[in-house]
Structure 1
């Protein structure tokens, strides 16, 4: 399982396929704090937010000081024009499934920081979290907190493909150990702390490139590794909102890693179901979640090393979720 601090690179909007007869590309609001701003060039905060998970179309774009802003409109219903927001707040509609939303919502307009984030998670996934937490014997708050800390709840990158992180040291174990010369010509990692020092190059004479900078780079190295051994390469990356490692495909219910990767690409549902399946099959993960022992959970889900730090982050997020959903039908 990959580390929580994953992929600060998921920071650009992505065009999805057009919906119905509307010729404009449809986006989803993936920024939990998607500030609506006044017209360019001032772009001053208006105090309002575009609704997290809402479907929008882009009416106009402007680049100001090197940053792209989009004027967005509700893509269905009243077609309300929300106003201008940073394009990085927009992403793939595959991030959301309306069936996961609760019947009531948290008013996030007056919330800030972690409270606003956890309120937004409830609004987008409250029913799913309630149902699956009940199935696990845990609290919705605990499950919501795991989702927040693991990936911010995001499963897809700027181009609509599943978020991935390719792990050189895992590829070494899956394939490189038996093909040392070829592996060493293209991949590097810290031999003492395998998750550090990841570099790669496409040609044996080319310059070394640092990894884990953005999603385009992650997919580039993963696609190259597949030319050496496709199953081993796919098993050496983590995927989606739960960052499930490919070698765990059987644990989460898929006969092959290829089947898991295809399922995760279809939408957020299979990705979140993968998190639940992983927890169910790892006793310490389930015990930690049920007993709110988040350090135990973090050590199980993400491995040893920073479990105390990540446990504190999960605890803080769970407390915020409980607070902001108090009184809600499916609250924490």
Structure 2
């Protein structure tokens, strides 16, 4: 079964020592609680052209009018089109340059999470949303500042370590705080 149940999320939160509502807020903000497309069944991705440009092995090659260069946050059809175009040029760099799954973890974190290759990380994530959350929790545990920020619910630090220095531009800290507050209010109501 690919879908993550609420009970599974509660068990993972407990097993890894995190507040359930904190993890649920991350999932709400990162993927609207979906690890797979309702339309295609494929894993949810966000291909990042700026990372691909840095990570590809033949970056000095003329890119011409490559589809991957024009990608911005789009629907899954556009994301997969850009990803597949990049994958044809450099498979490993394309996988490293893409955030995947329910919690949108970048492929380049594969070794921090404990995988021998980015492809093995992708294969594991493609199996289920449960696996996608495991990957994220392992990554969070590998980043002490993020782990501490989640434990204390410091949304600005969570957003910074999870989404990078441009988090304010996209309001990630506010979105996380609001999602968390909504969940707490729901549980108390």
SS in 1 for 2:111: coil
CA 1:265–1:293 in 2, change beyond 3 Å: closer, same or farther?
same
Identify the residue that residue 12 of structure 2 maps to in structure 1: 132
- Tell me, yes or no, if structure 1 residue 262 matches structure 2 residue 123: yes
SS in 2 for 1:182: coil
Identify the residue that residue 148 of structure 1 maps to in structure 2: 28
Residue from 295, 314, 323 that aligns with 2:176: 314
- Tell me, yes or no, if structure 1 residue 165 matches structure 2 residue 165: no
Would you say the 8 A contact 1:136–1:286 is kept in 2?
A: no
Q: Distance in 2 between matches of 1:210 and 1:230?
A: 17
Question: Gaps spanning 5+ residues in structure 2: where?
Answer: none
RMSD: 2.2
> Which structure has the bigger radius of gyration?
1
Question: Gaps spanning 5+ residues in structure 1: where?
Answer: 1-92, 101-124, 188-199, 202-207, 328-332
CA 1:274–1:234 in 2, change beyond 3 Å: closer, same or farther?
same
CA 1:235–1:128 in 2, change beyond 3 Å: closer, same or farther?
same
Q: Distance in 2 between matches of 1:211 and 1:140?
A: 31
Identify the residue that residue 98 of structure 2 maps to in structure 1: 237
Return the structure number with greater helix share. 2
Identify the residue that residue 56 of structure 2 maps to in structure 1: 175
Using CA pairs below 8 Å that are at least 6 residues apart, which structure has the higher relative contact order?
A: 2
TM-score, normalised with respect to structure 2: 0.87
CA 1:131–1:239 in 2, change beyond 3 Å: closer, same or farther?
same
Return the structure number with greater strand share. 1
Identify the residue that residue 137 of structure 2 maps to in structure 1: 276
CA 1:172–1:209 in 2, change beyond 3 Å: closer, same or farther?
closer
Query: How much has 1:307 moved relative to structure 2?
Result: 4.2
Q: Distance in 1 between matches of 2:174 and 2:74?
A: 26
Q: Distance in 2 between matches of 1:261 and 1:251?
A: 14
TM-score, normalised with respect to structure 1: 0.52
